[in-house]
């Protein structure tokens, strides 16, 4: 008998929620076959079977358990499960039933309708429509049959936007309320009639107050940012970058590249940051237990707004990638984050982060450090200004952008931080080197 435990699917994962068993209790499973969908603090991931045999489900759908807790067992395939060979019914537990574990904020109620999104046969002889894990979850909450939804993703795959369009909801994912754990999938309650139902409403002097429970990603961001502000001594340095040459370079690259394939200005910032980090190794490190940890690889995280949360996707080895490769990777990662398909590997390992609110017209941003990183770069919007020319003092137009570097004062000091930011500014003001 092989014990299947709650896996650690990301560095920050402490617990996970069973979203859906892809193999039924008592059914045969092969090693390496997709076994269960688990919601972590960052994404919903399909976990593979670690052995072959007959599956015995211990934790039903909707259960939230800590990393290392038993969620299932896999027994020998021949002659039935171990319990059946001992003469006990397959549905009888070998020992006392595990106590139900209360679902945490963001846990998902077990579905009351058959999920039609995993590509298996639906019993009527026709295959189920392929769908992203996030699309399946929203469909279950809204009570929508995926077979009736037209997919717009690759190979007709159903996305979150397709389900929201089918139910006539705005293009945001529904907030989930805490769900009580039920004894098993067969006894699951019906989903809420309204996907946006709140956890509680009260009346007071401020009028009706609606309390909405945090989902798992929001709870993680809240906890990490509170810890960062409480434990990390922040300081900021700020500079203005003349972006005229960078804008001209992007315009030229856009004219010569395929549609939608040109690097964005944020891609230039990522590349410039990666090169500068290689030249300022302490900024590519962290403070830990009275010492410095300096990282060999330069992995730049890019903050991506997703639903009601903030997710940092990671461009690995950004210093050694070409500008075009960075552009393709950031675009791919952003699409996967927004569709809810990101894997833990795509969200882990960042040594530095870039957070850009320029597309929202914000002049500047003072971001909070994402621990255990030493610094984070905030990027503001481009703005047109008038200035005197360097040669004869004539009035010329300039395109400026504000960069703000938030630093951990335990590892970075003022001069080192200023040197890093000045290096990034120099690279952006003479950007031809970034395209090589």
Nearest to 348 by CA among 320, 373, 314: 314
Nearest to 22 by CA among 104, 115, 132: 115
- Output the pLDDT for position 189: 40
Nearest to 4 by CA among 46, 40, 58, 43: 58
**Contact partners, residue 23, CB within 8 Å, separation at least 6:** 29, 33, 35, 36, 49, 55
* Buried/exposed 368-386: b ≥16 CB within 10 Å, e otherwise: bbbbbbbbbbbbbbbeeee
Q: Are 284 and 374 in contact (CB under 8 A)?
A: yes
Which H/E stretch holds residue 278? helix 265-279
Q: How many CB atoms lie within 10 A of CB 363?
A: 13
- Output the pLDDT for position 191: 42
Q: Give the CA distances from residue 344 to residues 42, 198, 333, 382, in Å, rounded to whole numbers and listed in that order.
A: 7, 29, 12, 33
Q: Which of 196, 234, 280, 409 is catalytic?
A: 409
Distance CA 117, CA 27 (A): 19
This model's pTM is above 0.85? no
- Output the pLDDT for position 306: 76
Q: What is the DSSP letter of 27?
A: -
Token digits of residue 73: 């067992």
Token digits of residue 339: 């569709």
Q: What is the DSSP letter of 42?
A: S
State CA 38 to chain mean position distance: 14
Q: Are 333 and 304 in contact (CB under 8 A)?
A: yes
369: Cα within 13 Å, side-chain hemisphere: 29
Q: How many CB atoms lie within 10 A of CB 361?
A: 10
Task: Give the β-pairing of 352-356 and 375-379.
Answer: parallel
Secondary structure of residue 296 in the 3-state scheme:
coil
Nearest to 234 by CA among 402, 370, 421, 419: 370
Distance CA 48, CA 230 (A): 38
User: Is 196 labeled as catalytic in the residue annotation?
Assistant: no
Secondary structure of residue 4 in the 3-state scheme:
strand
- Output the pLDDT for position 363: 94
- What residues does 395 pair with on adjacent strands? 388
- Output the pLDDT for position 62: 84
pLDDT (tens, 9 = 90+) of the chain, 436 residues, equals: 889 998 887 766 778 889 889 988 889 998 888 899 888 766 778 888 888 899 999 999 888 888 889 999 998 764 444 444 444 444 434 444 444 444 443 333 333 333 433 444 433 334 455 777 777 777 777 778 888 888 877 667 788 778 878 877 654 433 333 333 333 333 334 444 444 444 456 667 888 888 888 877 777 778 778 878 788 999 999 999 999 999 999 999 988 877 667 899 999 999 999 999 999 999 999 998 889 999 999 999 999 987 667 889 999 999 999 999 999 999 999 998 888 788 888 988 999 999 999 999 999 999 999 889 999 999 999 999 998 877 777 888 999 999 999 999 999 999 999 999 999 999 999 999 998 7
Token digits of residue 83: 């319990």
Q: Give the chain's domains with CATH numbers.
A: 1-101 (2.40.50.100), 108-201 (4.10.320.10), 218-435 (3.30.559.10)
Q: Give the CA distances from residue 36 to residues 146, 183, 221, in Å, rounded to whole numbers and listed in that order.
A: 19, 17, 25
Q: Are 409 and 235 in contact (CB under 8 A)?
A: yes
- Output the pLDDT for position 138: 77
Which H/E stretch holds residue 34? strand 34-39
- Output the pLDDT for position 202: 65
């Amino acid at each position: 008998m092989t014990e299947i435990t709650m896996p650690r699917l990301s560095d920050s994962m402490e617990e996970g929620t069973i979203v859906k068993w892809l193999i039924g209790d008592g059914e045969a499973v092969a090693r390496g076959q997709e076994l269960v969908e688990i919601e972590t603090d960052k994404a919903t991931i399909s976990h593979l079977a670690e052995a072959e045999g007959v599956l015995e489900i211990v934790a039903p759908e909707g259960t939230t358990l800590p990393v290392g807790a038993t969620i299932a067992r896999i027994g020998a395939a021949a002659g039935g499960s171990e319990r059946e060979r001992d003469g006990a019914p397959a549905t009888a537990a070998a020992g006392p039933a595990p106590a139900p574990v209360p679902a945490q904020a963001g846990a998902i109620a077990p579905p009351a309708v058959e999920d039609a999104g995993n590509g298996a046969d639906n019993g009527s002889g026709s295959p189920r429509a392929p769908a992203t894990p996030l699309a399946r979850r929203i469909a279950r909450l809204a009570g929508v049959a995926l077979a009736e939804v037209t997919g717009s993703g690759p190979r007709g795959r159903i996305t979150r936007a397709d389900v929201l369009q089918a139910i006539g909801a705005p293009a945001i994912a529904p907030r989930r309320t805490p769900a009580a754990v039920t004894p098993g999938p067969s006894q699951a309650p019906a989903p809420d009639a309204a996907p946006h139902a709140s956890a509680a409403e009260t009346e007071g002097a401020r009028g009706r107050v609606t309390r909405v429970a945090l989902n798992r990603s929001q709870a993680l961001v809240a906890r990490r940012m509170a810890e960062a502000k409480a434990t990390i001594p922040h300081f900021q340095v700020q500079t203005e970058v003349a972006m005229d040459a960078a804008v001209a370079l992007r315009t030229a690259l856009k004219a010569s590249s395929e549609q939608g394939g040109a690097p964005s200005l944020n891609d230039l910032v990522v590349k410039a940051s990666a090169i500068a980090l290689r030249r300022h190794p302490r900024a590519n490190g962290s403070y830990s237990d009275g010492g410095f940890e300096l990282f060999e690889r330069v992995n730049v995280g890019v903050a991506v707004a997703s639903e009601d949360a903030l997710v940092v996707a990671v461009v690995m080895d950004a210093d050694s990638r070409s500008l075009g490769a960075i552009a393709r990777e950031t675009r791919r990662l952003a699409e996967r984050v927004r569709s809810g398909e990101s894997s833990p590997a795509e969200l882990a390992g960042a040594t530095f982060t870039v957070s850009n609110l320029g597309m929202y017209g914000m002049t500047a941003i003072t971001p909070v450090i994402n621990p255990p990183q030493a610094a984070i770069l905030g990027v503001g919007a481009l703005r047109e200004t008038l200035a005197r020319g360097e040669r004869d003092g004539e009035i010329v137009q300039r395109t400026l952008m504000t960069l703000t570097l938030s630093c951990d004062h335990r590892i970075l000091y003022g001069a080192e931080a200023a040197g890093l930011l000045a290096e990034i500014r120099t690279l952006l003001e003479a950007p031809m080197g970034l395209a090589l």
